[in-house]
């Protein structure tokens, strides 16, 4: 087994992790990533297999769990009720209740909202001079849409963004005491807001997802208040975080490659979005615990060991994709790992796809001569692969 070193904080890696992925895949494809002190899989076949292997899961084995420290009580309570870190039967019950409210019909009904918010945001953007597209457009659209979906007031968007950014920073490389303190404050404020808001919706139900989640039940069991709060925070955080990065990364790729506007035409946009998600996805690193020994060819993943599945590397695997380093909107469709897979396949994938399919054509139609005004800069925030800034000239 090969042991590799690569700091996730290294500036060259942050700006282009794909060179290391190619090296690691050729060396492994499963290697020991010393900086994370765990095995890591870099090839599409292993990643897709392990995403669906029931011998692995997101939940840490009970005998390995440690109580959350006092300075992370609020954050820990949210984490304890997040279905992202659960396995059956708890995960099955929670996810089925969420899916009962998060229907394809409800997502499809958001199309007019996405179109109207997109148009509104585009009309507020400057028409001359360079500006940063990330805070002015990429960030604003997803947070407003997920707020509308759940029924949270849109004027709360700034708070939602601040809380979410502080909480998801806990999963990024380089976590510090300051990171933890900020996440704890955000978790407490988020929980306090949602506790009051859920109480309001119990007495004054509306046509929104939070009301649906309150009403949803399976075999007579409804979501507890803690489960509602954990689920709403997960949906709010995940429902905008990855889409923000997807819109930013996608815009950069399209501009870098001087992509024809024909790729954004109605008959081609769905395929173009899938290629964008394959080529430069927002989430690159996702872990699983082994619940029993798992044979990985020359390597055995031992019971209780954690393994990293490098989702960002799966989309560049030459065993699955011809010329994987080339962005090709006409590429024949094949599965990718941008939304994960198996039991934890992203609940919000249909919404993310719809937002990308609407936002990208509208943006490039609004600014048909748009170009990069400065080299794009990726954030030092691995395991997310996201832009700090995207300076464009309309």
Domain map of the chain by residue range? Answer: 3-393
Which residue has 């309001």 as its token pair?
200
This prediction's pTM: 0.95
For the stretch 181-208, pLDDT in tens is 999 999 999 999 999 999 999 999 999 9
Burial of 389 by CB count in 10 Å (0-12 exposed, 13-18 middle, 19+ buried)? middle
* Mean confidence (pLDDT) of the chain: 95
Euclidean distance between CA atoms 37 and 131, whole angstroms = 40
Note whether 172 and 384 are within 8 A (CB).
Answer: yes
pLDDT at 218: 66
Q: Is the pLDDT of residue 219 over 70?
A: no
Q: Is the pLDDT of residue 237 over 90?
A: no
pLDDT at 392: 98
Note whether 311 and 340 are within 8 A (CB).
Answer: yes
Q: Is the pLDDT of residue 221 over 90?
A: no
Q: Which of 352, 102, 358 is nearest to 243 (CA)?
A: 352
For the stretch 161-187, pLDDT in tens is 999 999 999 999 999 999 999 999 999
What is the number of other CB atoms lying within 10 angstroms of the CB of residue 135?
13
Euclidean distance between CA atoms 367 and 250, whole angstroms = 15
H/E element holding 132? strand 131-132
Verify cis geometry, omega within 30 degrees of 0, for the bond prior to 29. Answer: yes
Compute the average pLDDT of residues 320-343: 94
Euclidean distance between CA atoms 152 and 146, whole angstroms = 8
3-393 belongs to CATH 3.40.50.720: no
Residue 233 Cα to chain centre, angstroms: 14
């Amino acid at each position: 087994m090969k042991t590799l070193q690569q700091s996730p904080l290294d500036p060259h890696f942050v700006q282009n992790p794909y060179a290391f992925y190619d090296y690691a895949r050729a060396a492994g494809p499963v290697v020991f990533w010393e900086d994370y002190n765990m095995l890591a899989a870099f090839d599409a076949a292993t990643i897709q297999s392990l995403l669906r292997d029931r011998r692995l899961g997101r939940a840490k084995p009970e005998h390995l769990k440690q109580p959350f420290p006092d300075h992370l009580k609020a954050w820990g309570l949210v984490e304890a009720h997040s279905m992202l870190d659960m396995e059956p039967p708890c995960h099955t019950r929670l996810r089925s209740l969420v899916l009962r409210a998060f229907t394809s019909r409800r997502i499809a009904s958001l199309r007019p909202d996405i179109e109207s918010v997109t148009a509104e945001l585009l009309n507020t953007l400057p028409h001359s001079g360079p500006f940063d597209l990330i805070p002015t457009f990429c960030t604003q659209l997803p947070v407003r849409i997920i707020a509308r979906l759940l029924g949270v007031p849109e004027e709360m968007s700034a708070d939602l963004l601040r809380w979410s950014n502080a909480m998801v920073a806990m999963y990024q490389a380089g976590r510090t005491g300051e990171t933890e303190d900020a996440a704890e404050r955000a978790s407490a404020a988020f929980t306090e807001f949602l506790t009051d808001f859920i109480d309001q919706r119990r007495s004054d139900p509306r046509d929104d997802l939070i009301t649906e989640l309150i009403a949803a039940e399976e075999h007579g069991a409804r979501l507890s208040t803690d489960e509602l709060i954990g689920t709403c925070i997960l949906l709010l955080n995940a429902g905008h975080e990855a889409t923000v990065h997807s819109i930013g990364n996608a815009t950069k790729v399209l501009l870098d490659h001087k992509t024809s506007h024909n790729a954004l035409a109605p008959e081609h946009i769905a395929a173009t979005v899938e290629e964008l998600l394959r080529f430069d996805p927002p989430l690159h690193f996702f872990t699983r615990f082994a619940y029993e020994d798992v044979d990985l060819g020359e390597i055995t993943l031992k019971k209780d060991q954690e393994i990293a599945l490098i989702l960002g590397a799966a989309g560049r695997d030459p065993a699955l994709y011809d010329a994987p380093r080339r962005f090709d909107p006409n590429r024949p469709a094949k599965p990718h790992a941008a939304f994960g897979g198996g039991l934890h396949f992203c609940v919000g994938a249909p919404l993310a796809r719809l937002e990308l399919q609407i936002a990208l054509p509208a943006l490039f139609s609004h600014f048909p001569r748009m170009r990069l005004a400065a080299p794009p800069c990726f954030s030092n925030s691995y395991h997310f692969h996201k832009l700090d800034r995207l300076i464009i000239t309309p």
